Structure 1
Amino acid sequence: MRASELPTPSRLLPADIVRVGLVGIRSRPTRAVLSALGIAIGIAAMVAVLGISNAGQADLTNRISRLGTNLLTVSPGRDLFGQDAQLPSDAVEMVGRIGPVESVTATAQLSGVTVRRTDRIDPLAGGGIGVAAARTDLLPTVGGSVGQGVFLNGATGRYPSVVLGSVAAERLGIDRTGRQVYIGERWFTVIGLLSPVALAPELDRSALIGWDAARDLFAFEGHPTTVYERSADESVEAVRGVLAATANPQSPQDVRVSRPSDALEAQLAAKSAFTSLFLGLGAVALLVGGVGVANTMVISVLERRPEIGLRRSLGAGRGQIRIQFLAESVALSGSGGAVGVLLGALITAGWSVTQGWPVVMPVGVLLAGVASAALIGTVAGLYPATRAARLTPTEALSSV
């Protein structure tokens, strides 16, 4: 018979590839499930890490946007002799004269003044709570709010009234207003409890009394220790450049100017660094799963030598045998990847809801999870598929 009269070799259609690729999985379901489980765990870990990281970053980004990045703080540094410097008593008024400044306020830590739950407690057991004089316009500038009660005003700021930060209230065991705490050598009435202040966490650990009350009761001289200033967004850097010289014209080198939102952005960068670390651990788990799939496929080739020999003797080519086992490997990894993506998405959603974060799951992450699993399946099945394709009908059938 001439070559032109030979029958046309059969070709595997996509449906045929899927069908023959699922033969091994259907015939050995337990082994297939265990092999796919390794891939599922690796993909779930990677998807969950990326999803939780994206949700956390989205929440932090929303907080930064909501709180604003235009808050600057001015505080005294140290002079040439290593001593604590001091801001002028009129620093707030001088900073307020800067054109783009929209609001300015201040607090002043009272040295040597302690706050206690009762007068029976040792003054040295302050629990890290500081006492500070505060201006009545503090909260609007720093973006704070009162969780319970009211803040200091022109009237209460003259008398023994105190507003506690969230941490200070917890450490003192104060859960409602109307209680009294012992500050210095005098009882103060708690008129307000603050909610956590993200851009000024030092206020969370403070007991705030009025500026006038601090002058009258503790001989406060009016020198602020922290000046808070907000300006137009486009003018922040310009204002930052002149704040030190404006707040303390005599010694601008002894003034520290900072931007509280930079700390939140540093947290954002730290989250990204940890994401890379955990993503690497997920990749290791995925690699281990890929090794498991490769091992399963090698065993499958050894066990199915008679099937390979029979198919070869009936006219199946080397390429058809190769693609059969590649399809099985990809199906095994792909099914594990799909389960892993679903599991990772559920973990991300559950964690985000419990933390009060927005549920963020980029479609690209889900698709990348399935694609990674398919790629691992292709690589893991390449050697077993090539080995199966090299078997001759005689060699394969001789093992029957």
Structure 2
Amino acid sequence: MTATDRPRTFPGTPATSGSDIGLSRLRAADLIPVATGGLRTRRVRVLLSMLGIAIGISAVVAVLGITRSSQADLLARLDRLGTNLLTVVNGSNLSDAEVPLPATATTTIGHTEGVEAVAPTAELAGVGVYRSDKIPPQITGGLSVRAADSSLVSTLGADMLAGTYLNEATSRYPTTVLGHTAAETLGITDLSGAPRVWLGGRWYTVIGILRPIELASEINRSALIGFPVAARDFAYNDRPSRIYVRSQTERTLEVFEVLARAANPKNPNEVAVSRPSDVLTARLEVANATTTMFVGLGAVALLVGGIGIANVMVISVLERRSEIGLRRALGAARRHVAAQFVVESFLLGTAGGVAGVLVGVTVTYGMAVHLGWQVIIPPAAMSAGLGTAMAIGVLSGIYPALRAASMPPTQALRTS
């Protein structure tokens, strides 16, 4: 056989040899250049078809990453604040009238098994706190005055921003400790100049400012005074209106169940018991529900992206009929033509998935750093997102590939 008798091989067409003439083959090394030919010549269309996949994957990765980072922050706060803080407050009777706690409630709760600390407080009805005695009494600013004792800070795990808290001595004199929100509302940021506030028609000296207490927002909006001075100046009757209880962590649920009866043995149904940390736990559940919703939206975006890729590939098949006919005429088998378009669609999906993962990671990192959270990006979210994008790319290319493979060479060349 002379050189002119040997089979000729064209770029992008199956290679043959003298020993297997008629057996059509396509090397893997040739498949990628052939499959990327259409991608390189239609860059704008490629970018637009990748966009849907990228948006869907980035949404899924970002939502899962931000949710995990937020949950980690909430769990850290729960660990720091503790889930063993309980509150006992005035309940209501069958007539829906408020029923005050018994005067013995603090003592009986303190004797309950599993209780580590008890801090009674009493909101003084009709007593407002003002920066000046010239302010009309009806303008309360949402602030209140509460009687408390020295056990409140340790029970709540609170810290002082400035000054000192009430003790046995200062509880007997017209002194007050302001919650963080109350201090900000009154415009008192420090204790320079011995600031005073107007409480119930009397001047009280501010001796301390509390830092924000996350699980007791009512304390943040209050001016705290001692029980002795509350009894002397405002006729306090020894009945607490809210009692904070710190239980042994492993017995929190057990203590929760018996607190109402411990506070009011005769009428436990007239006592309201709650756990402030349940608010943070509820936020975790809301975050999970929101995550499911946004992941669903990301799945919709992926579906739209897959349809977009399929549409682009169908158009590509129609535009490249002459190329398909020529390759088939030169010996390319149907499977080679199909493989070309499936690989092209796979590359589109993969590129969109990679772009989506990068965008999702960037958004998660930026959000977490901005809010001071620990950055947590689930590896499963990235790998599953990329794998889904690849699978969508393959599935989106099957129909266009089958359509291209089934096109007769003569018809493709005649209609080109």
Taking structure 2 as the reference length, what is the TM-score of the superposition? 0.90
Q: Which residue of 1 aligns with 2:97?
A: 83
Q: Which residue of 1 aligns with 2:248?
A: 232
Question: How much does 1:39 deviate?
Answer: 1.7
Question: How much does 1:266 deviate?
Answer: 0.9
Report whether the alignment pairs 1:326 with 2:342: yes
Q: Cα distance 1:306–1:333, how it changes in 2: closer, same or farther (>3 A)? A: same
Separation in structure 1 between the aligned mates of residue 376 and residue 20 of structure 2, nearest angstrom:
62
Q: Which residue of 2 aligns with 1:369?
A: 385
Q: Deviations over 1:345-380 (max 9, x none)?
A: 111111111111111101001111111211221222
Q: Secondary structure at the match of 2:292?
A: helix
Separation in structure 2 between the aligned mates of residue 54 and residue 292 of structure 1, nearest angstrom:
31
Aligned residue pairs, count = 396
- Residues 214 and 220, structure 1, Cα contact 8 Å, conserved in 2: yes
Q: Secondary structure at the match of 1:256?
A: strand
Q: Which residue of 1 aligns with 2:53?
A: 39
Q: Secondary structure at the match of 2:158?
A: coil
Deviates more, 1:196-205 or 1:107-116: 196-205
Report whether the alignment pairs 1:54 with 2:82: no
Report whether the alignment pairs 1:166 with 2:152: no
- Residues 215 and 221, structure 1, Cα contact 8 Å, conserved in 2: yes
- Residues 143 and 199, structure 1, Cα contact 8 Å, conserved in 2: no
Structure 1 segments unaligned to the other structure (5+ residues): none
Q: Secondary structure at the match of 2:166?
A: coil
Q: Deviations over 1:30-88 (max 9, x none)?
A: 22122212221221122111111111111111111221111111112012332211112
Q: Deviations over 1:139-179 (max 9, x none)?
A: 22123222333222222222222222222223223222343
Separation in structure 1 between the aligned mates of residue 161 and residue 318 of structure 2, nearest angstrom:
70
Q: Deviations over 1:155-209 (max 9, x none)?
A: 2222222222222223223222343222111122222222222222222222222
Separation in structure 2 between the aligned mates of residue 155 and residue 112 of structure 1, nearest angstrom:
26
One of 213, 218, 231 as aligned partner of 2:229: 213
Q: Secondary structure at the match of 2:145?
A: strand
Q: Cα distance 1:388–1:209, how it changes in 2: closer, same or farther (>3 A)? A: same
Q: Cα distance 1:190–1:330, how it changes in 2: closer, same or farther (>3 A)? A: farther
- Counterparts in 2 of 1:86-235, with a 5 A limit? 86-177=100-191, 178-235=194-251
Question: How much is the aligned-residue C-alpha RMSD, in angstroms?
Answer: 1.9
One of 260, 272, 291 as aligned partner of 1:244: 260
Report whether the alignment pairs 1:335 with 2:335: no
Q: Deviations over 1:113-144 (max 9, x none)?
A: 01122222221111211211122111221232
One of 314, 321, 336 as aligned partner of 1:298: 314
Q: Cα distance 1:304–1:255, how it changes in 2: closer, same or farther (>3 A)? A: same
Question: Could you tell me which amino acid in structure 2 is paired with residue 9 of structure 1?
Answer: S
- Residues 147 and 225, structure 2, Cα contact 8 Å, conserved in 1: yes
Report whether the alignment pairs 1:274 with 2:295: no
Q: Cα distance 1:132–1:330, how it changes in 2: closer, same or farther (>3 A)? A: same
- Residues 105 and 138, structure 1, Cα contact 8 Å, conserved in 2: yes
- Residues 60 and 381, structure 2, Cα contact 8 Å, conserved in 1: no
Separation in structure 2 between the aligned mates of residue 17 and residue 198 of structure 1, nearest angstrom:
62
The structure with more radius of gyration: 2
Separation in structure 1 between the aligned mates of residue 345 and residue 375 of structure 2, nearest angstrom:
33
Separation in structure 2 between the aligned mates of residue 169 and residue 290 of structure 1, nearest angstrom:
57
Structure 2 segments unaligned to the other structure (5+ residues): 1-18
Separation in structure 1 between the aligned mates of residue 195 and residue 346 of structure 2, nearest angstrom:
68
Taking structure 1 as the reference length, what is the TM-score of the superposition? 0.93
What's the % identity of the aligned pairs? 50
Q: Cα distance 1:221–1:380, how it changes in 2: closer, same or farther (>3 A)? A: same
- Residues 321 and 412, structure 2, Cα contact 8 Å, conserved in 1: yes
- Counterparts in 2 of 1:16-27, with a 5 A limit? 16-27=30-41
Separation in structure 1 between the aligned mates of residue 35 and residue 267 of structure 2, nearest angstrom:
79
- Residues 12 and 320, structure 1, Cα contact 8 Å, conserved in 2: no
- Residues 162 and 209, structure 1, Cα contact 8 Å, conserved in 2: yes
Question: Could you tell me which amino acid in structure 2 is paired with residue 198 of structure 1?
Answer: E
Deviates more, 1:177-186 or 1:256-265: 177-186
Q: Secondary structure at the match of 2:147?
A: strand
